[in-house]
């Protein structure tokens, strides 16, 4: 898996055109540095996710940087499922292939092709014999522990210099089942005294009996990531590899292999590691919680998956701007999720209608509420008239206020925002005082008449229950609102009865 941890000449045209007036900010134009040796129309890029779960915010850098350069150079972009057999702790999962495909669709990234490493095993095998012949690879039957120790001390293993024929036969033996898992591996011959201990005769192939989710037990000898990439990057004509700098050592491996094959590989370019503060992202934890039902599927906000962000009303363009703003810097960074929200807010604020919602509601009956005040017309947006208005019935003077507001304003006069001024006595009774606006605290309210119960899913998976204004009764999935003084929300699918369901996006 190499998608973990992730401006073109212009921003994508999908960004909503800034409307006139309304104080809409023009987003800054972002530019990515040019790629070395990149020719217009001839750039071929690839993104290689390990199919163990949905794509999430940690994958975003790989997705959007590749896509941005693909567009900038009018090139190709492939998804290569990095689905070799994995290990005990890291296994590919069948469902993940489709999840990843859907996630890419969700964020409007459409690859030119999909490839599966598990379909390309013969290609990997075919490239190996020449390495035996040129003495660049060998079969090693050391136990893992011996191998580690030798690597540490820079000691070559006894088999390293056996004759070519022995290695050929041993390789056949690996394929045919003569060796059990762990009993034989293929290693590259670099230099056992290489200053970087991590680079001393690394493993190219190993035996695994795991059943692969796509190809079952058809193969028992599997390549390591670096070898598979070294082959695919040549076979697929990749011109530039963009990946996180955690894979820098893999560069050395790929380059060693290309040079052994007498070929020139693509340019290798890295970005620093990205972590998002406030977002503890663990694909394996998410997988476990999704499977066990603790999480509400991959759209549970706690996964930080693309789908879950979408469900929260976070637009793909916001994620794109967010990750592209980091550029190709090699510095490791930790960014607060707040930055992502700020990007999304620029997109949503100008187009999102306001609605009233109060959490933890208390009923307040206002004594002396004016009889002639039957309804009030409220703007859907404080500055953008084109978003229209709505009428809210207030007859009878019964309101829901947030418990917090009730407590805070007990014994004081305050204004029901956009409506009238009232006073709350110490024992909780409310009475009308006056109508004109004046500089006193303003409190959010929901008219009890017609109010609908609302359940708001939070980022931590909990729910806040409250009451929303009557116009929310007919809400449909996907509608976006700003609950005033609460934040931006997106409507979940609704059920005929029960509360209206929303997902909290961000303030």
Q: How far apart are CA 191 and CA 156, in angstroms?
A: 9
Judged by CB under 7 A, which stretch of 232-240, 307-315, 330-338, 389-397 contacts RNA? 330-338
Nearest CB to RNA, comparing residues 342 and 494: 342
Instruction: With beta carbons less than 8 A apart as the criterion, state whether 241 and 269 touch.
Output: yes
Cα angle: 290, vertex 291, 293; to 5 degrees: 65
Q: How far apart are CA 260 and CA 186, in angstroms?
A: 15
Reduce the DSSP state of residue 340 to 3 states and report it: helix
Nearest CB to RNA, comparing residues 24 and 299: 24
Nearest CB to RNA, comparing residues 158 and 294: 158
Q: C-beta of 293: minimal distance to RNA in Å?
A: 26
Reduce the DSSP state of residue 119 to 3 states and report it: helix
Interface with RNA, residue 50, by CB under 7 A: yes
Token digits of residue 429: 């009774």
Q: C-beta of 223: minimal distance to RNA in Å?
A: 8
Interface with RNA, residue 148, by CB under 7 A: yes
From residue 283 to residue 312, the character string flagging contacts with RNA as x (rule: CB under 7 A) and all else as - is ------------------------------
Token digits of residue 63: 């997705």
Token digits of residue 438: 């004046």
Nearest CB to RNA, comparing residues 102 and 325: 325
Neighbours of 405 (CB within 10 A): 23
**Which residue of 104, 225, 394, 454 would you call a contact of RNA, by CB under 7 A?**
225
Beta bridge partners of 415: 421, 442
Interface with RNA, residue 267, by CB under 7 A: no
Interface with RNA, residue 87, by CB under 7 A: yes
Nearest CB to RNA, comparing residues 334 and 460: 334
Question: How many residues line the site for RNA (CB under 7 A)?
Answer: 84
Q: C-beta of 23: minimal distance to RNA in Å?
A: 3
Q: At what angle do helices 316-324 and 60-73 cross, to 10 degrees?
A: 90
Interface with RNA, residue 196, by CB under 7 A: yes
- Residue 436 CB-density burial (10 A; 0-12 exposed, 13-18 middle, 19+ buried): exposed
Token digits of residue 159: 């088999």
Neighbours of 93 (CB within 10 A): 16
Nearest CB to RNA, comparing residues 16 and 477: 16
Interface with RNA, residue 233, by CB under 7 A: no
Judged by CB under 7 A, which stretch of 36-44, 80-88, 165-173, 447-455 contacts RNA? 80-88
Q: C-beta of 495: minimal distance to RNA in Å?
A: 28
List the interface residues with RNA, window 372-431 (CB under 7 A): 381-383, 402, 404-405, 408, 415, 417-419
Q: How far apart are CA 298 and CA 292, in angstroms?
A: 12
Interface with RNA, residue 19, by CB under 7 A: no
Nearest CB to RNA, comparing residues 250 and 289: 250
Judged by CB under 7 A, which stretch of 19-27, 128-136, 162-170, 472-480 contacts RNA? 19-27
Nearest CB to RNA, comparing residues 34 and 473: 34
Neighbours of 120 (CB within 10 A): 18
List the interface residues with RNA, window 444-473 (CB under 7 A): 444
Nearest CB to RNA, comparing residues 159 and 296: 159
User: What string of DSSP letters covers 6-17?
Assistant: ---SS--TTSPP
Sign of the C-alpha dihedral, residues 98, 102, 104, 108? positive
Task: Please enumerate in sequence order all residues whose Cβ is within 8 A of that of 4, keeping only pairs 6 or more positions apart, or say none.
Answer: 58, 59, 62, 244, 246
Interface with RNA, residue 218, by CB under 7 A: no
Judged by CB under 7 A, which stretch of 9-17, 71-79, 234-242, 439-447 contacts RNA? 439-447
**Which residue of 62, 69, 72, 84 would you call a contact of RNA, by CB under 7 A?**
84
Judged by CB under 7 A, which stretch of 102-110, 182-190, 287-295, 472-480 contacts RNA? 182-190
Q: How far apart are CA 345 and CA 406, in angstroms?
A: 29
Nearest CB to RNA, comparing residues 11 and 494: 11
DSSP state of 347: H
Q: How far apart are CA 1 and CA 83, in angstroms?
A: 8
């Amino acid at each position: 898996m190499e998608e973990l941890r992730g401006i073109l000449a212009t921003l994508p045209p999908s960004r909503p055109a800034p409307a006139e007036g309304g104080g809409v900010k023009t987003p800054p134009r972002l530019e990515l540095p040019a790629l070395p040796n990149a020719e217009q129309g001839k750039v071929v890029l690839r993104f290689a996710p390990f199919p163990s779960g949905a794509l999430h915010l940690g994958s975003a850098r790989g997705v959007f940087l590749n896509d941005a350069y693909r567009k900038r150079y009018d090139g190709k972009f492939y998804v290569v499922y990095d689905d070799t057999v994995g290990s005990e702790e890291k296994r590919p999962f069948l469902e993940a292939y489709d999840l990843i495909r859907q996630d890419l669709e969700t964020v409007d990234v459409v690859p030119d092709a999909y490839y599966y490493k598990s379909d390309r095993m013969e290609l990997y095998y075919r490239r190996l014999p020449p390495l035996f012949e040129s003495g660049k690879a060998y079969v090693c039957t050391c136990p893992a522990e011996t191998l580690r120790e030798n690597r540490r001390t820079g000691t070559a293993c006894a088999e390293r210099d056996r004759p070519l024929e022995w290695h050929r036969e041993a390789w056949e033996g690996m394929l045919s089942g003569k060796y059990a898992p762990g009993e034989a591996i293929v290693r590259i011959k670099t230099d056992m005294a290489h200053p970087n201990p991590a680079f001393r005769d690394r493993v190219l192939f190993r035996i695994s009996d795991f059943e692969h989710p796509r190809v079952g037990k058809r193969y028992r000898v599997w390549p390591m990531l670096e070898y598979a990439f070294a082959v695919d990057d040549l076979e697929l004509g990749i011109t530039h590899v963009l990946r996180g700098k955690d894979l820098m050592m893999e560069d050395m491996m790929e380059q060693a292999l290309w040079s052994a094959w007498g070929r020139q590989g693509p340019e290798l370019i890295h970005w620093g590691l990205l972590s998002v503060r406030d977002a503890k992202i663990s694909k394996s934890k998410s997988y476990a919680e999704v499977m066990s039902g603790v999480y509400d599927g991959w759209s549970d906000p706690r996964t930080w998956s693309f789908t879950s962000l979408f469900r929260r009303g976070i637009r793909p363009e916001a994620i794109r701007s967010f990750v592209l703003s980091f550029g190709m810097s090699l510095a490791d960074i930790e960014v607060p999720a707040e930055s992502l929200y700020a990007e999304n807010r620029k997109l949503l604020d100008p187009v999102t209608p306001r609605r009233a919602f109060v959490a933890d509601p208390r009923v307040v009956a206002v004594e002396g509420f004016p009889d002639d005040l039957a309804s009030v017309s409220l703007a859907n947006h404080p500055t953008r008239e084109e978003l229209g208005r709505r009428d809210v019935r207030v007859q009878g003077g019964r309101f829901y206020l947030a418990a917090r507001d009730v407590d805070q304003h007990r014994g004081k006069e305050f204004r029901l925002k956009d409506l009238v001024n009232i006073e709350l006595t110490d024992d909780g009774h409310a009475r009308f005082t006056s109508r004109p606006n004046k500089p006193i605290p303003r409190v959010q309210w929901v008219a009890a008449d017609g109010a609908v119960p609302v359940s708001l899913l939070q980022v931590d998976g909990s729910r806040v229950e409250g009451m929303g204004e009557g116009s929310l009764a007919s809400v449909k999935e996907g509608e976006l609102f700003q609950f005033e003084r609460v934040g931006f929300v997106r409507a979940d699918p609704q059920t005929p009865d029960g509360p209206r369901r929303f997902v909290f996006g961000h303030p």
